[in-house]
A = this chain, B = another copy of it.
Amino acid sequence: MKNTFGHSVAVTLFGESHGEAIGAVVDGLAPGIPVDEAFIAAQLDLRRPFGKISTPRQEADPFRIVSGCFAGRTTGTPLTVLIPNGDTKSKDYSKTKDLARPGHADLTAQMKYHGHQDYRGGGHFSGRVTAALVAAGAVAICALERKGIRIRSHIRACAGVEDRPFAGEQAGLLADFDALKGSRFPVLDTAAGDEMQKRILRAAEEHDSVGGVLETAVCGLPAGVGEPWFDTLESLLAHMLFAVPAVKGVEFGDGFALAGMRGSAANDPIRAENGRYITETNRSGGINGGISNGMPVVFRCAFKPTPSIFREQRTVDMNTGENASLSLEGRHDPVIVHRAAVVVDSVTALVLCDALALRYGTDWLAE
């Protein structure tokens, strides 16, 4: 069940960058969830290249829902989103297919698939495949929003510039969410965002690329979701987050910073307020013992820089087994972290739908 994740709501992903189509099957969604195709399209747009800082492949993502949707709502049977690949024959890969691109999966794909992989444009490893996750995740996001659960990511750091963190208290956090809505370069501090983009362009001019950190928050998640072993809420989220291309680190709450604190500073004091329990701080990121505590769930993902750069790189020819050098051509993104925000939101939504359906039953999400 490698390409399928989830117990009660499970997503299966398929497709290659230059194959006929990519797609995703979401099984186990409650029957009766509205399927908002305009919202799916809008989410897909957030993942598409943007302005000067992205590759200009401006192909729209003409998704089709080929199963699991009837009269505008989920049927309860597997919902399948299909995104046909458009112009896929534009390039000749014969010269470069044996040169393993450093930082990419070319070498590991060769070792795993013994030369049978579709090498064109990264094949099954291509970031393009995340478009299907975004389309599938859009339905999950809609379902969660109807239950008062909202998810949003912003660029916490990029190219050496930091955005301010999410507001700690509920009202401020929701205001932050509103401010980020629809943004294709989601930052809370626009000056920081401008500086990030300046530096991204400079890196691009220098034939280089940059990475970044996304910070994600979930509001409205009920307490009591997740398991002590082994399906902690952190485990489930991290499992999916580390499947997003380029993610090399995940931390919850104050994360690695907690390792340097004392317990007296790290523990979140608990308080009764308006008939419910809250914590005065949220250094644990809304999760204790693997289970949600009702506070916002907050985490950060580290994205490495885009591996496709235009400088000459040392590598090997996988056909001859000899050392070689590689100079990429064409156009490549100098950064992908802003486009990854909607991908992170999407996989987060899929994980939460699964955990909630498992906890409250298969119909709960549509009730």
User: How many copies of this chain does one complex carry?
Assistant: 4
Is there contact, CB below 8 Å, between B228 and A105? Answer: yes
Could you tell me the distance between the alpha carbons of A31 and B265 in the complex, rounded to whole angstroms? 33
The verdict on A55 contacting chain B, using a C-beta distance below 8 Å, is: no
For the complex, is A80 an interface residue (Cβ under 8 Å from B)? Answer: yes
Residues 292-331 (chain A) with a chain B CB within 8 angstroms: 292-294, 302-309, 311, 313-316, 318, 321-323
Q: Out of B112, B157, B210, B283, which one reaches A291, CB within 8 Å?
A: B112
Q: Which residue of B is nearest A289, CB measured?
A: B105
Known contacts A250-B238, A291-B108; is A311 also within 8 Å of B264 by CB? yes
Nearest B residue to A102, CB-CB: B267
Contact between chains at B104 and A288 (CB < 8 Å): yes
Contact B4 A67 (CB under 8 A): no
Contact assessment for B5 and A230 in the assembled complex, using a CB-CB cutoff below 8 Å: yes
Q: Does A73 reach chain B (CB closer than 8 Å)?
A: yes
A309 CB to closest chain B CB (Å) equals 4
Known A-B contacts A1-B10, A66-B20, A238-B239; A363 and B114 likewise in contact (beta carbons under 8 Å):
yes
Contact (Cβ within 8 A) A210 B262: yes
Number of contacting residues on A, CB 8 A? Answer: 154
Query: A210: which of B23, B263, B267 is its contact (CB, 8 Å)?
Result: B263
Let me know if A230 and B239 touch, CB within 8 A.
yes
- Decide: B239 and A280 in contact? CB cutoff 8 A: no
With A13-B229, A228-B125 known as contacts, the answer to whether A21 contacts B66 (CB < 8 A) is yes
A109 to B229 Cα, complex, angstroms: 13
* Residue of B107, B223, B362 touching A359 (CB-CB under 8 A): B362
Shortest beta-carbon distance from A346 to chain B in Å = 13
Which residues in B have their C-beta under 8 angstroms from that of A236? 239
Q: Which chain B positions have C-beta within 8 A of A279? A: 102
A268 within 8 A of B: yes
Q: Mark A70-88, 1 if CB is under 8 A from B, else 0.
A: 1101111111101000000
Q: B2 touching A229 by the CB < 8 A rule? A: yes
CA distance A315 to B269 in the complex (A): 6
**Contact call A75/B117, Cβ cutoff below 8 A:** yes
Chain B: CB-nearest residue to A18: B70
* A243 is an interface residue with CB less than 8 A from chain B: yes
Given A14-B67, A227-B2, A290-B105, verify A23-B80 contact (CB < 8 Å). yes
B75 pairs with A118, CB closer than 8 A: yes
Contacts of A12 in B (CB 8 A): 4, 12, 25, 27, 78
A111 interface hit (Cβ, 8 Å): yes
Top-6 shortest CB links A-B: A105-B289, A249-B251, A209-B263, A108-B291, A31-B116, A361-B361
